[in-house]
Structure 1
Amino acid sequence: MSMYEEGLKLMEEKFGNGKDNNISLATIALESSADGKPCPNVRVVDAYYEDGTFYAVTYGKSNKMQEIAQNSEVSIAACHEMFTACGVGENLGWVLAPQNAEIRNKLRKAFSDWYDMANNEKDENCVFLAIHLTKGILNINHWEKLYHMDFINKYCD
């Protein structure tokens, strides 16, 4: 098994298998700082992980979705598992759109304790956000082993 495959297996163990994960999601604000530099915005979202992508359900007109529409480059962190990554955010559209049926079933199951309370699926602004990972660092046992993962080229060093 390659180091990349080993890293993917660990990712699945830590974040996959239908788990509801809390991750920090950083985007670039629409407004710059006073000196004209880009400002990061960060928030915690519940996310479901599968095959190099985290999925979240959110409001399509939220700040994060407006920011991702302008700049799809995002960063995430899962502090409890010591994982940080960069990726590309994608609005998958309305949760009830036919193309979202499979991921909807998975997220409804993973988020079953709160999904119906927190989401109004009848509102077409209730959307899925996919965070397609591009590069990340998985830190095992407090620096015992680091996996520098390249999800695009499927490589790890």
Structure 2
Amino acid sequence: MNKYEEGFKLIEEKFGNGKDNVISLATIAREPGANGEPRPVVRSVDAYYEDGVFYVVTNGKSNKMKQIAENSQVSVAGCFEMFTANGVGENLGWVLDPKNAELRTKLRTAFSEWYDSANNEKDENCCFLAIRLTRGTLNINHWEKLYHMDFVNKTDMENGGIY
């Protein structure tokens, strides 16, 4: 097993297997900061992880989805794990769209304690957000071992990643 595969397996163990994860999601605001430069916006979201992608149930009219529509580049961080990554956000559409049936089942199971009380599936703006990871760093035991990962090319990045 190479270093990328080892890191990918650890990420699956930490975030996968049907878990409800709280992650930080950063987007770029639609309006610049006071100095005219792009302004980051971060919030915590519940996310389901599978095969290099975090999935979130949200509303298509939310600020995060409006921001992602204008600039799909996002960053995430594991709130309880030392993992940070860049990715691309994508609106997968209405949760009741037949193409989302399998994903809907997985997320309803993972988020079963709160899914129905937090989401109105009859609202066609209730949608799935996919965060497809592009590169990231998994930090094991406070710098004991670092995995700098290129998720697109499925390789380790020796001198890079996200800190």
Shorter-chain TM-score category?
Answer: over 0.9
Partner AA of 2:87 in structure 1: G
Secondary structure of residue in 2 paired with 1:34:
coil
Unaligned runs of 5+ in 2: 159-163
Q: Which moved more, 1:76-85 or 1:120-129?
A: 76-85
Deviation at 1:127, TM superposition (A): 0.1
List aligned pairs for 1:16-95, cutoff 5 A.
16-95=16-95
Aligned residues: 157
C-alpha RMSD over aligned residues? 0.6
Match of 1:113 in 2: 113
Match of 1:148 in 2: 148
Deviation at 1:34, TM superposition (A): 1.5
**Aligned-partner Cα distance in 1 for 2:141–2:100:** 36
**Aligned-partner Cα distance in 2 for 1:35–1:118:** 37
Deviation at 1:79, TM superposition (A): 3.1
**Aligned-partner Cα distance in 1 for 2:141–2:109:** 30
Secondary structure of residue in 1 paired with 2:64:
helix
**Aligned-partner Cα distance in 1 for 2:58–2:99:** 17
**Aligned-partner Cα distance in 2 for 1:101–1:152:** 26
1:82-128 C-alpha deviation (Å, 9 max, x unpaired): 00000000000000001101110000000000000000000000000
Post-superposition, which runs of at least 4 consecutive aligned residues in structure 1 deviate over 2 A? none
Partner AA of 1:22 in structure 2: V
Match of 2:6 in 1: 6
Percent same amino acid among aligned pairs? Answer: 75
TM-score, normalised relative to structure 1: 0.99
**Aligned-partner Cα distance in 2 for 1:35–1:115:** 40
Unaligned runs of 5+ in 1: none
TM-score, normalised relative to structure 2: 0.95
Deviation at 1:25, TM superposition (A): 0.2
